[in-house]
Amino acid sequence: MLWLLHGNLGSPADWKPVMDFLRAGGVEARALNLWRYLECCPKSLKDMGRVLCSEIASQDRHPLICGYSLGGRLAMQAVLAHPPLWKGAIFVSANPGLEHEEERAARRAKDAEWAVQCLSASWENFLKEWDAQGVFEGSPPPPDRSSLKPWRKSISRAFIDWSVGAQENLAPLLKQSPVPQLWIAGQRDARFSALPIYHPSCRPPASPGNAGKAGGMPATIYSAKPMNDPEIPDAEDLRKLVEEIAQTHIPFGMYGPAKYPPKGCPLMDVPQEYLAWFQAKGFPKGKLGRLMEQCLLLKGNGLDSLFDPFRKANGGKKNARRRVWDFENE
């Protein structure tokens, strides 16, 4: 199951379009209300990471976790608290932490001001001030957040307990984590796209045999298209796309007919690293390139299981694991 964590001043309802999209593809997902965890007492970021591990482990043996912004930072804490639990993690526009203490101190002071304003100002004026921040310039209108008003004490506490200023820079720890990770920043999200951890070139290259393990590159990293981009399929188009990808074979190179007779390796079974290599080098022109790009988008968002019915019908998944560094020469 995929567990979804909303951002600051967000709610589980924020994930509804994503959950509908996943459900259409047969992927089970559940969104948590983060505010209820602060209802009774303060909880540090690390405490919250352990709480999430405990609660989710009691319901799911091999979970995936996905968090946006604040939810992404809490997901990082959960991943670091108990790595063996997690099948993978997706961090969407989430800051792994500020590098210098001066920056963290300034952020704690600013978030303390927001915490006070959250309780002292009217809810409507508080939201107006929050939405007026430059970081939200050009964003679509915010959703109706009247349902969050009863949680304002928890939200105020979160500004203190879960401030990015209260968090060490987790990037070094996450780079060494054995948990596969996907870091996503929108194409128009200049703030997070600029962070080094969102760029593959800033990751250490995978060494022989350890791609996805400690010390290697945890996962493919790319800037995702917005969910309302016309290239992102709706539920019916998704079904057709998955079927089309499942029926496509690689006609050339290391996954072509010479090594995977008679038609080549099914596109759905080539490693994600192979598709990410093509993303960096340039996908082939035409239909095959388009399907390779869409296949990477599905795999990168944890939707590889959509192909399982087709694999079952064809006798199982092809074992197509190959070393990333061989792609150039084979």
Question: Which of the pair, 310 or 208, is modelled with greater confidence?
Answer: 310
What is this structure's pTM?
A: 0.64
CA torsion, ordered 230, 231, 237, 243, to nearest 10 deg:
180
Q: Which helix (H) or strand (E) holds 108?
A: helix 101-120
DSSP 111: H
Q: Alpha-carbon distance 132 to 147, whole Å?
A: 20
pLDDT of res. 320: 62
Give the model confidence (pLDDT) of 42-101 as tens digits.
789 999 999 999 999 999 988 999 999 999 999 999 999 999 999 999 999 999 999 899
- 3 state DSSP class of 99: coil
Quote the Cα angle for 181-156-193, to 5°. 30
Share of the chain above pLDDT 90, in %: 56
Any idea which of 22-36, 57-71, 149-163, 228-242 has the lowest mean pLDDT? 228-242
Residues 80/49, Cβ–Cβ less than 8 Å: yes
Question: Which of the pair, 329 or 252, is modelled with greater confidence?
Answer: 252
Q: Alpha-carbon distance 206 to 217, whole Å?
A: 5
Residue type, 33: N
Question: Which of the pair, 271 or 327, is modelled with greater confidence?
Answer: 271
pLDDT of res. 270: 92
| Angle, helices 16-24/235-246, rounded to nearest 10 degrees | 40
pLDDT of res. 234: 59
Radius of gyration of the chain (CA): 21
Give the model confidence (pLDDT) of 129-182 as tens digits.
999 988 777 777 888 899 999 999 999 999 999 999 999 999 999 989 999 999
Burial of residue 223 (CB within 10 Å: 0-12, 13-18, 19+) is middle
Fold of 2-99+166-202: Rossmann fold (3.40.50)
Share of the chain above pLDDT 70, in %: 85
Question: Which of the pair, 172 or 198, is modelled with greater confidence?
Answer: 172
Q: Which helix (H) or strand (E) holds 175?
A: helix 171-176
Domain residue limits, the chain: 2-99+166-202, 101-164, 235-326
The yes-or-no verdict on residue 206 having pLDDT over 80 is no
pLDDT of res. 13: 94
The yes-or-no verdict on residue 323 having pLDDT over 50 is no
**Residue 179: partners with Cβ closer than 8 Å, 6 or more residues away:** 79, 83, 86, 88, 89, 218
Q: Alpha-carbon distance 318 to 307, whole Å?
A: 12
